[in-house]
Amino acid sequence: MSTYDLVVVGGGSAGLTAARTAGRFGARTLLVERDRLGGDCLWTGCVPSKALLHVAADVQAARRASAYGLPPVPGRADLAAAMGEVKRAIGAIEPHDSPEALARLGVEVAYGAAAFTGPRSLTAGEREVSFRYAVIATGSSPALAPVPGLAEAGPLTSDTVWELSGLPHRLVVLGGGPIGCELGQAFARLGSQVTLVEAMDRLTPREEPRASEVLRERLEAEGVTVLTGYQAERVDAGAVHGPGGAVPYDALLAVTGRRANTRALGLDAAGVELTATGHVRTDGRLRTTNHRIYAAGDVTGRSAFTHLGGTQGGAAATDALLGVRRPVDYRAVPWVTYTDPEIARVGLTADEAREQYGDTARVHTLGNDRLDRAVADGRTEGFTTLVLGPRGKIVGATVVSPRAGETIAHLAAAVRRGWTPSDYARTVHPYPGYADGPWHTALTDVYARLARGSGAIGALLKLRRGVRR
Ligand SMILES: Cc1cc2nc3c(=O)[nH]c(=O)nc-3n(C[C@H](O)[C@H](O)[C@H](O)COP(=O)(O)OP(=O)(O)OC[C@H]3O[C@@H](n4cnc5c(N)ncnc54)[C@H](O)[C@@H]3O)c2cc1C
Ligand SMILES: NC(=O)c1ccc[n+]([C@@H]2O[C@H](COP(=O)([O-])OP(=O)(O)OC[C@H]3O[C@@H](n4cnc5c(N)ncnc54)[C@H](O)[C@@H]3O)[C@@H](O)[C@H]2O)c1
């Protein structure tokens, strides 16, 4: 039986980063993948959804061009052509995640479903191997909401929607979280009649309420029917049934959440426990209840994003192999819903900060009507919110605007470094950009503090006038 320093189970964002990290250290590393290297992000998640959104944005821009005297662009886009663009993007990225690319870093790849046979061994397809350490990075899969008739209706999910070759006429999207909003907007722009159904009282319910409002207004302006507070109760005869009546569809896309991939992994044999939500239980170092085995990515329930899964994978491999702690700073992890406008967030919302810090929490919001770039682009509907905690430090931020996903990275640094708005404002930002939004919001706080200290400043001015006549 071969022995490895590190065996990684699952070749998605988390597992690939764990394996690459171990390979770079020179460790004997095996990556076991049951299907395709690249995981959800490459094949059915981030990459295809962003490529489809890009095509949809092009189509949307073409439709608007009639305002400038070009002939109107009627009709619906060719979904097969759009999916061709999706495949192009996947194909361009795939080689970076290939066995050959991993071999160059000293990582061996074995194909087959892995299952633990003991606390320090597992089978990888036909082979049994032993390990000093292992990382479970088996990800998550779409979970259908327990709605009678939904499973029987055979809805599309984020795994299968990419196989569509024709644009559905009426598309009902069940679930108004990030996936539902991104895909709903993409299909609407391509020409489907989209109804977005969400049980909670607003879309993207985890974000700032105003962000949900801006997104809803935009989607409705683009022709999407948004039904919130609509808990689907039954699916039959080609319609979703709920409190507001029946919503008929030609295609149904169910994006109501995800469940961790832990089945048939032999976790009992390995002494690895699950949480009540079915995720692999981990401690602050990402160790499972078997301290030789770590977990990273969606399977932990502590990440739902590629960048965080990768960060966890690298941290787990480093902790295991070198004994060097690299705790993940969850307070400062940004995430983005890539609708148009994008909703980007890091840290606490205003309500969360008030709950945590009471009156110490302060909030500044600046509308994009004050942002010259947004005015130039005719995109003033968004805003920036900065949330300040104890000692005036930035503990959270939301940016809603085109390219908010780029802007938020700087704010993530601010939260991680514990900057105040005046620390943040000291970095000069280029004009006119969308990053001006957070900059001017930070300056709002600086000006407010200046106004509060106007007595002292007035006294200083007077003193200097007196000294230097
Ligand atoms: C439509 C959509 C859009 C998304 N957009 C974004 C985005 O824009 N930005 C972002 O940050 N995140 C996005 N996400 C989330 C992101 O895709 C996931 O957080 C990320 O892919 C999770 O990585 P992972 O490594 O934990 O799991 P996965 O990528 O799921 O990888 C797990 C791997 O393990 C393998 N595996 C499972 N069981 C076994 C076994 N027993 N033996 C061997 N191998 C096994 C699987 O085949 C798979 O390859 C999106 C998700 C979806 C669905
Ligand atoms: N850009 C990104 O980073 C990105 C993009 C997509 C997904 N993701 C991640 O993937 C994960 C899964 O996303 P998701 O959108 O599938 O899940 P989600 O849990 O975020 O959203 C699912 C939505 O479905 C609704 N819902 C559930 N049952 C319902 C019912 N019976 N009737 C009506 N509505 C119902 C829920 O209220 C919820 O708002 C998330 O954690 C997300 O962060 C990230």
What confidence score (pLDDT) does residue 455 get? 76
Name which residue sits closest to atom 15 of ligand 1, judged by CA.
305
What's the start-to-end Cα distance of the chain, in Å? 89
Measured from the Cβ of residue 220, the count of other Cβ atoms closer than 10 Å reads: 12
Based on its alpha-carbon atoms, the radius of gyration of the chain, rounded to whole angstroms, reads 25
Distance 201 CA to ligand 2 centre (A): 14
**Share of residues in the chain with pLDDT > 70 (%):** 99
In angstroms, what is the span from residue 460 Cα to ligand 2's centroid? Answer: 55
DSSP code at position 433 = S
Q: Where in the chain are the domains?
A: 4-38+97-142+259-322, 161-256, 334-456
pTM: 0.96
Output the CATH code of domain 4-38+97-142+259-322: 3.50.50.60
Banded model confidence at residue 193, pLDDT cuts 50, 70, 90: very high
What whole-number distance in Å separates Cα of residue 107 and Cα of residue 99? 8
Report percent pLDDT > 90 for the chain.
94
Q: What is the pLDDT of residue 9?
A: 98
255 backbone dihedrals φ, ψ, rounded to 5°? -130, 70
Whether pLDDT at 453 is above 80: no
Ramachandran sector of residue 286 (left: φ over 0; alpha: ψ -120 to 50; beta: rest): left
Instruction: Please determine, for residue 461, whether its predicted confidence score (pLDDT) is greater than 90.
Output: no
Peptide bond into 432 cis (omega under 30): yes
What pLDDT score was predicted for residue 379? 97
The answer, yes or no, to whether any atom of ligand 1 lies below 6 A from the CB of 307, is yes
Q: Does position 94 have pLDDT exceeding 70, yes or no?
A: yes
| Residue nearest to ligand 1 atom 33, measured at CA | 10
pLDDT digit string (tens) for 122-174? 999 889 999 999 999 999 999 999 999 999 999 999 999 999 999 999 999 99
Residue nearest to atom 35 of ligand 1 (CA): 10
Mind listing the pLDDT tens digit for each residue in 260-295? 999 999 999 999 999 999 999 999 999 999 999 999
Angle subtended by helix axes 436-452 and 404-417, to nearest 10: 40
Same fold, 4-38+97-142+259-322 and 334-456: no
Distance 181 CA to ligand 2 centre (A): 9
What is residue 188's predicted lDDT score, i.e. its pLDDT?
98
Find out whether the beta carbon of 11 lies less than 6 Å from any atom of ligand 1.
yes
Nearest listed ligand to the Cα of residue 179: 2
Superfamily in which the 334-456 domain is placed by CATH: FAD/NAD-linked reductase, C-terminal dimerisation domain (3.30.390.30)
Residue 282 and residue 319: Cα distance in Å, rounded? 13
Name the residue with the closest Cα to ligand 2, atom 6: 179
Looking only at the bridges linking them, the beta strands covering 234-236 and 334-337 are unpaired
34 Cβ inside 6 Å of ligand 1 = yes
Give, for ligand 1, the residue of 40, 127, 346 to mutate: max count of ligand atoms closer than 8 Å to Cβ: 40
What average pLDDT does this structure show over 400-409? 97
Q: What pLDDT, on a 0 to 100 scale, did the predictor assign at position 469?
A: 64
Residue 176 assigned ligand-binding role: yes
Q: Ligand 2 center to residue 177 CA distance, Å? A: 4
Rounded Cα distance between 283 and 286, Å, is 5
**Which of 144, 179, 403 is the best mutation target for the ligand 2 pocket, counting ligand atoms within 8 Å of the beta carbon and taking the most?**
179
Q: Quick one: which ligand is closest to 299's CA?
A: 1
Interface predicted TM-score (ipTM) over 0.90: yes
**Is residue 422 over pLDDT 90?**
yes
What mean pLDDT do residues 40-60 have? 98
| Cα angle 309-314-320, degrees, rounded to a multiple of 5 | 120
What pLDDT is stored for residue 454 in this prediction? 66
DSSP string, 342-368: EEEEEE--HHHHHHHHGGG-EEEEEEG
Q: Which ligand is nearest to the CA of 183?
A: 1
Q: Is 138 annotated as a binding residue?
A: yes
Superfamily of segment(s) 161-256: FAD/NAD(P)-binding domain (3.50.50.60)
Q: Which ligand is nearest to the CA of 338?
A: 2
The confidence score (pLDDT) of residue 244 equals 80
CA angle at 228 for the pair 225 and 230, rounded to the nearest 5°: 105
> Phi then psi for 330, rounded to 5 degrees?
-65, -20
Asked whether 364 and 381 are in contact (CB, 8 A), the reply is no
